[in-house]
A and B are shown apart, each in its own frame.
Chain A
Amino acid sequence: MTLTTKNIPQTQAKKKLDLSVMLSPWIVPLAIVGLWQMISSLKLVAPHILPAPTKIAATFWLLLANGELLNHLVVSGERVLVGFLLGASVGLVLGIVTGFSKLMQEIVDPSLQMLRTVPLLALIPLFILWFGVGEFGKVLMIALGAFFPIYVNVFLGIRLVNIQLYEVTGLLQYSFKKRLTTLIMPSAMPNILLGIRLALGASWLVLVVSEMMGTSAGLGYMIQDARAYSQTDIVFVGLVMFALLGKLSDSLVYTIERKVLKWQDTFKG
């Protein structure tokens, strides 16, 4: 009997670059913008309530050209990046520690879970009292927002490691390091990546709120400042920026996810 074959099995059916598949996510937004433009052109709503998409696009272009938008973007981007990295790394380390050690779990986890139930935004007044309105308090807020999704998911990912595979690494005498890199981490990766996605979302959220109180630069400030002067078109530019940035960071993680988790044998719809 021969069960051998020279053909390596197809790991992934090659997807055709179908035009309709590429366009399908755009149908709903384009329809809304079209309708919106029509409403504005017919002057059904006052422009300071709902400016026309063309007007928003023009403002967007103007702010881009005079460098104002880029300036706000860099300031906000820096805050999110530093805050996210800080929160994510602390979350990763604590998640690993509590995931591995039952003792550490019992010592650390109950307090963290209690802290987690406090609405993050309720801490902002306290942070302003403690750290003022400077960069430090903002970055710390963002870090806190990014911390919990990562911590919870890393912990969960480690606890979901298959006990049967763990037994195999014992029989094959894996070192602790090998066990961590070849069993625990790959196995926890779906949860870790989910944690990163949720943490990025939380980071942007906390950023906007923290930028709306006491600062002189950043996308959140730009929106807040425009509101004060009833510049609704600039408010919309800010919203579009957040939508784009959020989508961009999410897609980035999603791309990594698809690459790293291609071994997964799950329902793909």
Chain B
Amino acid sequence: MSKNTLVIENLNKVFTTPNEQVIALKNVELTVEQGEFLTVIGPSGCGKSTLLKIIAGLDVDYTGKVELDNKAIYGPSLQKGFIFQEPRLFPWLTVEKNIAGDRSLKDPTIKQQVAELIKLVKLEGFEKAYPRELSGGMAQRVSIARALLRNPAILLLDEPFGALDAFTRSHMQEVLLNIWQTNKTTMIFVTHDLDEAVFLGQRVIIMNPRPGHIKSILPIDLSFPRKRSSLGFQEMRRAVLNEFEKVEEETYTIGAGI
């Protein structure tokens, strides 16, 4: 097994409310190799965000095996970067200070790394800008740079572009692919947008609710950069859609991407 492999075996998670027990995740099995780009798609309530939070160490109340680099995950660590749907920047700090966070920009190494990351996320010229002066897409790129400064082995993204308009979103997807190809960081990207899942992922994990479980895993054998208008892309898109339609008892509304 190569370094920084994520192994999930027989993962179960139950939410207990005063009235009932809800099975959020049932028997999840997944192995993610270093450098892979994985997208996770499913209707709300399928447990995709819960799965991501468990991998991040934000939720340690589960049964089963969740290991990164052969070590059980028992809490957050710098090995695992996390991007929320909201950028979550500190409003009183400039872009570069937000990226540096608890590290000092007076350290020339940090200063250099921050400058490189600002270049990577295409924010040159905005080093001294405050979050309120940034657009939604720019702010999200700052939060990605902040996560990357910690040099994570794996980046967990929880619908990071969900709040962005279609044009910004497709630009952000290209920025993210560029980062992935440059840094070789493992990416686990949760989305409810079918196009986004097919455009980014090497594998698409399809999840279903009640109880939350992995329904199927579809490899997307298309080379990067991908074209949404290409025949291959359309075929893969249809294949993912078919997986959802196999479940006849329940109807799902999936994001506007369909």
Contacts and interface: CB of A to CB of B under 8 A. Distances in A.
- By secondary structure, the B interface counts as loop
A174 B82 CA distance: 15
A170 to B, nearest CB: 6
B84 to A, nearest CB: 7
A182 B101 contact: yes
Interface residues of A, number: 31
B176 interface: no
B132 A265 contact: yes
B102 A182 contact: yes
- Tier of interface size on chain B: 20 to 34
Interface string B122-135: 11111111101100
A243 interface: no
A236 to B, nearest CB: 44
Nearest to B129: A9
B92 interface: yes
Choose among A170, A171, A264, A265 the residue with the greatest number of B CB atoms under 10 Å from its CB: A171
Interface in B133-192: 133, 137-138, 146, 150, 171
Contacts of A164: 84, 86, 88
B117 to A, nearest CB: 14
A1 B122 CA distance: 10
B92 A8 contact: no
Contacts, number: 72
B236 interface: no
A189 to B, nearest CB: 8
Nearest to A266: B132
B150 A6 contact: no
A117 B58 CA distance: 42
B76 interface: yes
- Overall SS of chain A's interface: loop
Contact of A8 (B86, B88, B125, B150): B125
A5 B125 contact: yes
Interface string B75-102: 0111000101010101111000000011
Given A11-B133, A173-B77, A263 B126 contact: no
B155 to A, nearest CB: 12
Interface in B19-73: 56, 58
23 contacts: A1-B171, A3-B137, A8-B126, A9-B129, A11-B128, A164-B84, A164-B86, A164-B88, A167-B88, A169-B102, A171-B56, A173-B78, A173-B102, A174-B102, A178-B102, A182-B90, A182-B102, A183-B90, A187-B92, A263-B91, A263-B132, A264-B91, A265-B91
Interface of B: 56, 58, 76-78, 82, 84, 86, 88, 90-93, 101-102, 122-130, 132-133, 137-138, 146, 150, 171
Given A6-B125, A11-B129, A11-B130, 5 more contacts: A4-B124, A5-B125, A171-B56, A173-B77, A182-B93
A-B CB proximity, top 8 nearest: A265-B132, A263-B92, A178-B102, A186-B92, A5-B125, A171-B76, A9-B133, A174-B102
